[in-house]
Amino acid sequence: MTTSLSPTRTSGLAFARRFISRRISWVPVFAAVFILVVMFVAAQAYFGNFLTPRVISSLLLDNAYLLILAVGMTFVILTGGIDLSVGAVMAFTGMLGASLLRDGLPVALVIPIMLVVGAAMGLGVGVLVQYFGVQPFIASLAAMFAARGLAFMVSLSSIKVEDKAILWLQSTRLQAAPGSWSITPTGILALLTVVVAALVLAYTRFGRTIYAVGGNEQSAKLMGLPVVRTKLLAYVISGVCAGLAGVAFTAYTGASYPLNGIGTELDTIAAVVIGGTLLTGGSGYVLGSMVGVFVYGTIKSAISFLGAEQSWTRITIGALLLVFVVVQRIIVARSRRR
């Protein structure tokens, strides 16, 4: 008894249909890429000198910290949660790191401490969410406040970083030619984070469980998957990424300031959503989030090219976020009806 459900014809149409049925979840990512390309083209047409290696390179270099945060946020949103604490945790770990360095601790110790502190904040959020049924946004909002307060507790004013290793991360420029393509160690760090996260999500049981939990937590439980551990770990990863972003941002600015990253959590969420990750969880890719960060960076660059108020960045991002959320909502409503 064989069902007639498989298309045996290998016509072009069948191929296309198969491609779509396999890759449908990549469509939002393609949409983000499309928007990025449209922006590039429009900016180039308008300014004439937008698409230069220098500007494109700076998309990565100026937003390395955001990219790292977006990677962590992608894990959390994929499970159906949200983490509003990332900006504040980034500021706190940055402050902590800068003050430890000032006190003379070796950088080889300071960076692990920053990562562990980030992980601990993430774990705290995860425990509140998972074991006490606190809504993710409340738990992470509390963590955001706690981290912001802690950052001010470290110091009320900015701390300059003079450690060579940290400054090396940003000051070293590997470039093809002066003014051409270039990359800094922080940029490499951010790209590495993306690659590792993409591999973890695509090729490990943990990664696939993240998707399963976000797709249908109840099912994942009934399938015997380790739901609790996976969700906790997603928040921990987001915390670690926030710690790493703290390193990158400190290197980028050469100093830590307790007010760093105010509103960054919103930028991060916006980048992830624009990159095609569904806020309801279960669908999305870190590569998409990377594209989302580039969209964000392009908007920011274009606005500074225009010489307009930087406040337009947030407004544009907010509008774009809205469009994507509404489209997502329509897609979800459609698939429910089916």
Q: How far is the CB of 254 from other proteins (least distance, A)?
A: 22
Q: Is residue 276 within 8 Å of residue 288, measured between CB atoms? A: yes
Under the criterion CB under 8 A, does residue 203 sit at the interface with other proteins?
yes
Under the criterion CB under 8 A, does residue 148 sit at the interface with other proteins?
yes
Contacts of 256 (CB under 8 A, 6+ apart): 91, 94, 95, 97, 98, 99, 158, 159, 161, 250
Among 37, 41, 153, 174, binds other proteins (CB under 8 A): 153
**Position 84, amino acid:** L
The residue (of 140 and 186) whose beta carbon lies closer to other proteins is 140
Under the criterion CB under 8 A, does residue 13 sit at the interface with other proteins?
no
Restricting to residues 95-134, name those near other proteins by CB under 8 A. 128, 131-134
The residue (of 32 and 144) whose beta carbon lies closer to other proteins is 144
Q: How far apart are the first and last CA of the chain?
A: 28
Q: How far is the CB of 283 from other proteins (least distance, A)?
A: 5
Helix (H, G, I), strand (E, B) or coil at 327: helix
The residue (of 41 and 262) whose beta carbon lies closer to other proteins is 262
Q: How far is the CB of 228 from other proteins (least distance, A)?
A: 8
* Residues facing 174 on adjacent strands: 183
Helix (H, G, I), strand (E, B) or coil at 174: strand
The residue (of 134 and 191) whose beta carbon lies closer to other proteins is 134
Q: How far is the CB of 317 from other proteins (least distance, A)?
A: 6
Restricting to residues 43-82, name those near other proteins by CB under 8 A. 82
Q: What is the spatial distance between Cα 325 and Cα 220, in angstroms, rounded to a whole number?
A: 25
Q: How far is the CB of 314 from other proteins (least distance, A)?
A: 4
For 111-128, give one letter per residue: b (16+ CB within 10 A) or e: beebbebbbebbbbbbeb
Under the criterion CB under 8 A, does residue 162 sit at the interface with other proteins?
no
Number of residues that bind other proteins (CB under 8 A): 79
